Structure 1
């Protein structure tokens, strides 16, 4: 992975917290990062070139006036006022290369002096075994602060630890082995036919990223929410607000119209153009 700094831009030492998405159902993590980039007025400082990410190109996602800036698969944004670095990922990882991609991201985080990594992702609502909507949308977390994945700060914020995390479980242990680079000829990869229900969560992208950042000695926190495919903008607001709470930011201070949030320009066409009313 190569980091390409844009002309006239530089990285800010005070931006020691890195927020990035892990692609999953509903693209909630990506939508949340979009919301954070727009609301914190973060500027693009460069892009990451990684052979493990599918190439893509698109229009500027944040500026309504055409500037000729193209959106790329992996972009880095920084907001010195919020002390945040944000990475937006717009295309998937090549099949079978998730661990290598996560290792490259971890190397970038270390090289750029990041101290705390916040991963935003989503989980399949269909696999939520105990549905309790009495308290509304719930944030789940996974942290490397303690061996069991718990974190006192996250608990004080009212979030629940992802109960499916077990560092001694077969696939979680295998991820750690890969992330630490300790694979030997005696280590064998779990075959897909052998995977059970307990292996679903560690098979997701956020788990590989969590393991690789952890292996580099970085503090890493995954913020997760359950969702289904469809209009997941409310979930993105919820996840972005959780990220702000963890980073010590107050969304009300953002200069937007939606409770302080600034709606990304690209969201105007996230579900395509409006219908042709002449048809009705």
Structure 2
């Protein structure tokens, strides 16, 4: 259930919703962090749910001592009316067997808010790619039938590659195929739910491995920016326009204590 932090809030007209899947390398979540921090988005509410692992912490996007004391929770909503943009950041994993309940709550909120489109940022295990996925770009997309007519031209112009279907029984029978996003969390089921309910949704993901996934977040976001134009980049390889939040300074801990040496 969405709870506004102040007065009743509703998204701007024709607003785009960006959200991550809790997936391999947390790439989608890191990319959302960069968006919120770079665009200096305003927090307007949070999700009150028992479907996510409970979490509380300091403001991850603090800019001074005063707002550093603000608390953050496991699912919060940010907005930037000037760009008709709304962002849902998810900071903790789903509790086992509650994925469906969480997706239903999200879908209900999405319908109530009448978002123009939803974009899910995700990732998938690089080591589980099949032969056709080993070549070319590491990025893939999925688009629901409701959104397809509105984005087909721009996707064709960008030369993006759609997520391939893979064989149910490799070698034995290559005719039966299915969509698979290994390591993608609720990506596949959320996409299927949105497809069946007529919601305009796109998935943008990258194949990656666990480790230091900051470069993956930068590249995924730069890839997405070619479509949504969140910031102006001099060229597609520039990452300096994205602002890393202060919380990333301790992303891998505080380093080795000098006493060890």
Length-normalised TM-score, structure 2: 0.83
* 1:237 partnered with 2:221: no
Instruction: Compute the RMSD of aligned alpha carbons.
Output: 3.0
Match of 2:173 in 1: none
Match of 2:62 in 1: 63
Question: Is 1:251–1:259's contact at 8 Å kept on the other side of the alignment?
Answer: no
Equivalent residues in 2 for 1:1-280, closer than 5 Å:
2-8=1-7, 10-14=9-13, 16-66=15-65, 67=67, 68-130=69-131, 132=134, 138-145=138-145, 151-164=152-165, 198=178, 200-201=180-181, 204-252=185-233, 258-277=239-258, 279-280=260-261
Distance 2:120 2:199 in 1: 12
Secondary structure of 1:160's counterpart equals coil
Question: Is 1:45–1:77's contact at 8 Å kept on the other side of the alignment?
Answer: yes
Length-normalised TM-score, structure 1: 0.78
Secondary structure of 1:81's counterpart equals helix
Question: Is 2:11–2:113's contact at 8 Å kept on the other side of the alignment?
Answer: no
Q: 1:148 to 1:13 in 2, by over 3 A?
A: closer
Aligned residue pairs, count: 246
Task: Quote the offset at 1:11 in angstroms.
Answer: 3.2
Structure 2 gaps of 5+ residues are 169-175
Distance 1:165 1:35 in 2: 32
Q: 1:83 to 1:147 in 2, by over 3 A?
A: closer
Question: Is 2:20–2:88's contact at 8 Å kept on the other side of the alignment?
Answer: yes
Task: Quote the offset at 1:132 in angstroms.
Answer: 4.5
Task: Quote the offset at 1:140 in angstroms.
Answer: 0.3
Distance 1:200 1:260 in 2: 33
Per-residue CA deviation, residues 158-210 of structure 1 (Å, 9 max, x unaligned), is 321001279xx8xxxxxxxxxxxxxxxxxxxxxxxxxx995753884101111
Distance 1:198 1:113 in 2: 30
Secondary structure of 1:212's counterpart equals helix
Distance 1:235 1:151 in 2: 25
Q: 1:8 to 1:112 in 2, by over 3 A?
A: same
Distance 2:121 2:134 in 1: 22
Secondary structure of 2:82's counterpart equals coil
Distance 2:253 2:105 in 1: 34
Task: Quote the offset at 1:246 in angstroms.
Answer: 2.4
